[in-house]
Amino acid sequence: MRILLLTHAFNSLTQRLGAELRQRGHMISVEFDISDSVTEEAAALFAPDLIVAPYLRRAIAESVWSHYLCLIVHPGEAGDRGPSALDWAIDKGLPEWGVTVLQAEAAMDAGPVWASANFCLRAAKKASVYRHEVTQAATVAVLQAVERFASGSFVPQRAISSQWQPLMKQADRAIDWQLDDTATVLRKINAADGFPGVADSLFGQPCHLFDACVEATLRGTPGEVIAQRETALLRATVDGAVWIGHVKRARSIKLPATLAFAGESASVPYAPLLDWWRVPSATWQDIFYEESGAVGFLHFEFYNGAMATQQCERLRAALAWAKLRPTHVLVLMGGQDFWSNGIHLNVIEAASLAGGSAADESWRNINAMNDLALELITTERQITVAAVGGNTGAGGCFLARATDLVWVRDAAMLNPHYKNMGNLYGSEYWTYLLPRRVGQEAAQAIMHNRQPLTAQRALEIGFIDACLAGDVPAFRAEVTRQATELASEPDLTLRLAAKNGARLRDETIKPLATYRAEEMTHMHRNFYGFDPSYHVARHHFVYKSLASWTPRHLAIHRELGWKLP
Binding site for ligand COA (CB under 6 A): 11-12, 127, 194-195, 254, 304, 306, 341-346, 391, 393-395, 415, 418, 420-421, 424
Nearest Cα to Cα of residue 28 among 3, 52, 11? 3
Whose Cβ is closer to ligand COA: residue 385's or residue 394's?
394
Judge whether 558 and 550 are in contact, CB under 8 Å. Answer: yes
Round to whole Å and give the CA distance between 449 and 462. Answer: 17
Considering beta carbons, is residue 76 or 194 the nearer one to ligand COA? 194
What minimum distance in Å lies between the beta carbon of 420 and ligand COA?
Answer: 6
CB nearer ligand COA, residue 295 or residue 400: 400
**Residue among 344 and 516 whose Cβ is closer to ligand COA:** 344
To ligand COA, the closest distance from the beta carbon of 224 in angstroms equals: 26
Report the candidate in 319, 287, 283, 282 with the shortest Cα–Cα distance to residue 301.
287
Q: Are 396 and 338 in contact (CB under 8 A)?
A: yes
Angle, alpha carbons 245-249-251 (nearest 5°): 145
Give 48 or 194: the residue with its C-beta nearer to ligand COA: 194
Residues with Cβ within 8 Å of residue 1, at least 6 apart in sequence: 26, 27, 48, 49, 50, 146, 150
- Tell which residue, 418, 388, 420, has the closest CA to residue 401: 388
- In angstroms, the CA 44 to CA 274 distance is 62
SS3 104: coil
Residue 153: other Cβ atoms inside 10 A: 6
Query: Using an 8 Å Cβ cutoff, are 310 and 372 in contact?
Result: no
Q: Closest distance between ligand COA and the C-beta of residue 154, in Å?
A: 30
- CB of residue 344 vs ligand COA: minimum separation in angstroms? 5
Provide, rounded to whole angstroms, the least separation between the CB of residue 505 and ligand COA.
29
Residue type, 154: F
Q: How far is the CB of 90 from ligand COA (least distance, A)?
A: 15
Q: How far is the CB of 131 from ligand COA (least distance, A)?
A: 6
Instruction: Using alpha carbons, select from 60, 63, 52 the residue that is nearest to residue 2.
Output: 52
Choice between 334 and 393, CB closer to ligand COA: 393
In three-state form (DSSP H/G/I as H, E/B as E, the rest C), the secondary structure along 141-155 is: HHHHHHHHHHHCCCC
Q: Please report, for residues 234, 264, 490, the alpha-carbon distance to residue 261 in angstroms, rounded to integers and kept in the order given.
A: 13, 5, 53
- Our CB check for ligand COA shows the closer of 187 and 538 to be 538
* Between 471 and 506, CB nearer to ligand COA: 471
Is residue 399 within 8 A of residue 340, CB to CB? The reply is: yes
User: What is the nearest approach in angstroms of ligand COA to the Cβ of residue 415?
Assistant: 4
For ligand COA, the closer of residues 375 and 428 by Cβ is: 428
Report the nearest approach of ligand COA to the CB of residue 86 (Å).
14
Q: Which residues contact 348 (CB under 8 A, 6 or more apart)?
A: 358, 361, 362, 365, 538
Q: Is the CB of residue 373 less than 8 Å from the CB of residue 428?
A: yes
Q: What is the DSSP string of 458-496?
A: HHHTTSSSEEE-S-HHHHHHHHHHHHHHHHT-TTHHHHH
CA 113 to chain centre: 29
With respect to ligand COA, which residue has the nearer C-beta, 250 or 502?
Answer: 250
Closest distance to ligand COA from the beta carbon of 522 (Å) = 13
Closest CB to ligand COA among 228 and 391? 391
The distance of closest approach from Cβ of residue 110 to ligand COA in the complex, given in angstroms and rounded to an integer, is: 28
Cβ-based nearer residue to ligand COA, 222 or 452: 452
* CA 336 – CA 353 distance, rounded (Å): 30
Given CA atoms 57, 61, 66, 67 in this order, what sign does their dihedral have?
negative
**Is 206 or 269 the residue whose CB approaches ligand COA more closely?**
206
Which helix (H) or strand (E) element contains residue 74?
strand 70-74
Minimum distance from residue 374 beta carbon to ligand COA (Å): 16
**198-202/163-164 β-pairing:** unpaired
Radius of gyration of the chain from its Cα atoms, rounded to whole angstroms: 24
Cβ proximity to ligand COA: between 103 and 128 the closer is 128
